[in-house]
Structure 1
Amino acid sequence: MSTAPAGGREFMPRIGAGLPPGERPMIAAIRSIPGHEGRLAAAVATLTAAVRREPGCLEFRAFQDVADPGVLYLYEIYADTDAFRVHLTTDHVARFFTELARHSRTDAKALVQLVELDVP
């Protein structure tokens, strides 16, 4: 799978070796190219429906910024790092990377790996 469909941007996130075991939460902020907001939102909706059917996906939710409709946020939780790795190999993710190249200013840095705070 190509990690840079257009413009030399990298879309495939790097998965660090130091991630803790267990659930793999993350969030991504995706910024559309002006005038491409609707097409990017449609691509995100298509991706969301497909990812929710993945066996390792525990949660996948898409949000639009109220103040800036050209910014979309993806909140994702996978069962573990291996489930996230499988997610990255799917055809729907490859298609989404192509749509990101066409309709956004985003690259792999938009995805932030999270670790839940241990709060008693």
Structure 2
Amino acid sequence: MSTGDRRFMPDVGDDLPPGERPMVAVVRAIPGHEEQLAAAIATLTAAVRREPGCREFRSFREAAEPGTFHLYEIYDDTDAFRAHLATGHVARFFTELVRHSTADAGAVTQLVELPVSGPAEIRG
């Protein structure tokens, strides 16, 4: 989906590692639209948590910047994330993004978890 210069559907490459698909999104409200965007995110969060391929979906509001929201997401795999993007609730959320935020597809950052090789000691 796009509106004018803004494109909302993130690119999901075939070069992502197998297994869990973690990501974060940072979404900023248009000034004066903070509560409308918060409500849209709350609705999205409830719907996504019911998706079969969703392992975790948590939404946060910055304490110091109440118009900035962080979405933390983990899907079973890339296919589950693609299925998530094809849902009606995501399409409705994109409509809300158009009205209440400055976000676009660049809001989503794909993550790759760092391997842990064993017990590590943190030294100060």
Q: Is the counterpart of residue 66 in structure 1 residue 63 in structure 2? A: yes
From 11, 15, 20, the equivalent of 2:12 is: 15
Which residue pairs with 1:92 in the alignment? 89
Q: Is the counterpart of residue 26 in structure 1 residue 30 in structure 2? A: no
Rg larger in structure:
2
Q: Is the counterpart of residue 40 in structure 1 residue 37 in structure 2? A: yes
The one-letter amino acid paired with 1:41 is A
1:7/1:101 contact within 8 Å kept: no
TM-score, normalized by length of structure 1? 0.96
**Deviation readout 1:80-100 (Å, 9 max, x if unpaired):** 000000000000000000000
Q: Which runs of 5+ in 2 are unaligned?
A: 118-124
Q: CA deviation at 1:13?
A: 0.2
Q: Is the counterpart of residue 83 in structure 1 residue 69 in structure 2? A: no
Q: CA deviation at 1:14?
A: 0.2
Say which SS state the counterpart of residue 6 (structure 2) adopts.
Answer: coil
Say which SS state the counterpart of residue 15 (structure 1) adopts.
Answer: coil
Q: CA deviation at 1:17?
A: 1.6
Q: CA deviation at 1:16?
A: 1.4
How far apart, CA to CA, are the structure 2 residues paired with 1:7 and 1:98?
Answer: 13
The one-letter amino acid paired with 1:43 is A
Which residue pairs with 1:105 in the alignment? 102
Q: CA deviation at 1:53?
A: 0.2
Q: RMSD value over aligned CA atoms?
A: 0.6
Say which SS state the counterpart of residue 82 (structure 1) adopts.
Answer: helix
Say which SS state the counterpart of residue 58 (structure 1) adopts.
Answer: strand
Say which SS state the counterpart of residue 67 (structure 1) adopts.
Answer: coil
TM-score, normalized by length of structure 2? 0.93
Percent of pairs identical after alignment?
A: 68
